[in-house]
Amino acid sequence: MTDSTPAISCRNVWKIFGAQPEKYLDSLKRGGDEIRSPHVTAVRDVTLDIARGEMLVVMGLSGSGKSTLVRCLSRLIEITGGTVSVEGQDIGAMSEAELIDLRRRKMGMVFQSFGLLPQRTVLENVAFPLEMRGQDRNARYERAREMLRLVGLTGREGYFPRELSGGQQQRVGIARSLAIEPDIWFLDEPFSALDPLIRREMQDEFLRLKGLLNKTIVFITHDFDEALRLADRIAIMKDGAIEQCDTPDRIVLAPATEYVAKFTADIDRARVVRASGLARPVNGIALEGAAVAGELTIRELGRQMVSDRRSHIPVADRQGALIGVLERQAALNLLLGGAA
């Protein structure tokens, strides 16, 4: 296995609820009538690769299939058609014992409901998956304390879940999922029940953890602002299918469908699009002066774009290497709402 192997790869994945779903899928593939059927097609012919260390945000309206897709990727539910592979292994072909072992060793999961054990303390809740692994008491409690420090809950080890705020309970859930050191982390709208202030704090905490830990993350949300803030790539779903899967820059600048365009219609594009996303190849253009950082958004570069008189501005990556050229007028158009 090489490092280029995706962490997760799915090919033509379908999930259909109803009687004899495989037979119904065969009918669909032959052009059968879907409108008259009592079946529900929750995931529709999804093909997707998720790279190691990538954070993919899956979003869509309620009923779009995003939560069902995540459960297919972890085989919490059985798919109707297609294949799902984790690090090159077809999880559909795994035995129950192999699948349990994979989840215990490789996967962490956080869902909307915190799922904390009310009769156990915070420390015991975080240590619980390690207890299920058979790890000795001292080792699992040491690991649990380390994870609680990571999410900022040192001093709360002896509390019970009922004694914590919603945001603190969510942090316990995150600490518990991290305790097993998962390579792959599934989060299904983990912040949806939180008020805006706590939600923002949890996003900040999550970004901090993301910077510390090299995890492959699949994060489900219906909040586009949250997706833009967190994602390396965004997959937008509708009626079980992925309408577009791309970087936040490309989702905003080049929506693939009318449905995706509706998601981005009210977004301040200058707040989302980075200099690297708007840059184009140099192609012999004469450049002069200092480069701007490619990771900065056009909004963050706003003052410079207004005052800088260069028509073409070099763009560099974090190592200082030239990656393209930014047309000042295109940046100003995006910043001030002019022509695209």
CB neighbour list of residue 27: distance below 8 Å, 6 or more residues apart: none
Q: Please name each of the domains of the chain with its CATH number.
A: 270-336 (3.10.580.10)
Kindly report, residue by residue over 246-276, the tens digit of the pLDDT.
999 999 989 999 999 988 888 888 988 999 9
Highest mean pLDDT among 11-15, 102-106, 222-226: 11-15
**Would you say 88 and 3 are in contact if contact means Cβ atoms under 8 Å apart?**
no
| Distance (Å) of CA 154 to CA 147, 208, 215, 232, 279 | 9, 17, 23, 30, 44
Closest CA to 13 of 56, 71, 57, 52: 71
Q: Please give the pLDDT value at position 339.
A: 43
* pLDDT at residue 202 greater than cutoff 80: no
pTM for this model (two decimals) = 0.83
Closest CA to 34 of 44, 24, 43: 24
* pLDDT at residue 91 greater than cutoff 70: yes
CB neighbour list of residue 35: distance below 8 Å, 6 or more residues apart: none
What is the mean pLDDT of the segment spanning 101-127?
87
Q: Report the C-alpha gap between 113 and 26 in whole angstroms.
A: 36
